[in-house]
Amino acid sequence: MSSDDVKAIRCPFCGAPYKKIIPSLTAQLVCDYCGATFRTPASMAGDAPRCQNHPERYAVGKCNDCGGEFCSDCLQTYDFNTRDGSATLYLCPDCLQARTSAKYNSYILSGIAFTLIGLVLSIAVWPAGILLIAGGIGMLVYGAANKNKTKIEVQQRSPEETEETQTSSETDWEEADELYGDLLAKYGEHWGLSTGAQLLEDEIKAYTWDGYAWPDAVRRVYKNHQKKAFSK
């Protein structure tokens, strides 16, 4: 594997480097820092799939709902709660729109139901009926207002914008790589190489799991380390 291949293996969602050995014919990788699933780099995958919305770009992962292949601009995170805790999906614009619309449609339908029940109930017990009508109208307004705000459009980028973003990201990664190397040396000197590396990884993951991109997480850990060193 060349040095260019190593540099290419970064999570397209948080920017973290992928450090594990990749077996041959591996199609997808899982980021240790943010948990996202993404495609192996095009330089390693050969005829890699293209984004369904942007044929000029390689796909980085699949939509969890429809299974389509999309680039990093198209795949968006969608958080929701389950009985066992919270979960995160990666969705294409159409599936994200469908889930978001379904969420607010439920408010609209519930609002209609509450309003109708309130109208019937107000004939016999008007105070309770008025409360139900008010609650139903409130749910209708909330659902309709938010549904109109959540129209999701496919982002289109010009070649110049794509090149500028890639250059900026590469600069961020190079700076973060240098800070990471400095931190690893200091942690290794203080706790030993193995323990120090694990402690550093845990601190970085605490930020990436909280939504920070890998370069930003490294910078925050570095700043925290500098503050601790300065206070001694």
What value does the mean pLDDT take over residues 88-107?
Answer: 84
Angstrom distance (rounded) from CA 47 to CA 201: 33
Least confident of 17-31, 64-78, 86-100: 17-31
Q: What is the pLDDT of residue 109?
A: 85
What value does the mean pLDDT take over residues 17-28?
Answer: 74
DSSP sequence for the chain: --HHHHHH-B-TTT-PBP-S---TT--EEE-TTT--EEEPPHHHHSSPPBPSS-TTSB--EE-TTT--EE-TTT-EEEEEEETTEEEEEEE-HHHHHHHHHHHHHHHHHHHHHHHHHHHHHHHH-HHHHHHHHHHHHHHHHHHHHHHHHT--------HHHHHHHHHHHHHHHHHHHHHHHHHHHHHHHHH-HHHHHHHHHHHHHHHHTTT--HHHHHHHHHHHHHHHHHH-
Q: 51 Cβ partners below 8 Å, 6+ apart?
A: 57, 58, 59, 69, 70, 71, 73, 74
Among 6, 1, 2, 72, CA closest to 36: 72
Give the confidence band of 222 by pLDDT, cuts at 50, 70, 90: very high
Check pLDDT > 60 for residue 20. Answer: yes
Q: 41 Cβ partners below 8 Å, 6+ apart?
A: 5, 8, 9, 48
Percent of the chain with pLDDT over 90: 5
pLDDT in tens, 138-183: 888 877 777 666 555 555 544 444 444 444 466 777 888 889 999 9
Angstrom distance (rounded) from CA 180 to CA 178: 5
Q: Answer whether 76's CB lies under 8 Å from 93's CB.
A: yes
Angstrom distance (rounded) from CA 195 to CA 55: 45
pLDDT in tens, 195-214: 888 899 989 988 887 777 88
Least confident of 124-133, 139-148, 163-172, 222-231: 163-172
Say which amino acid occupies 154.
V
The label of the residue with tokens 């010009």 reads: 158
Q: Answer whether 89's CB lies under 8 Å from 65's CB.
A: yes
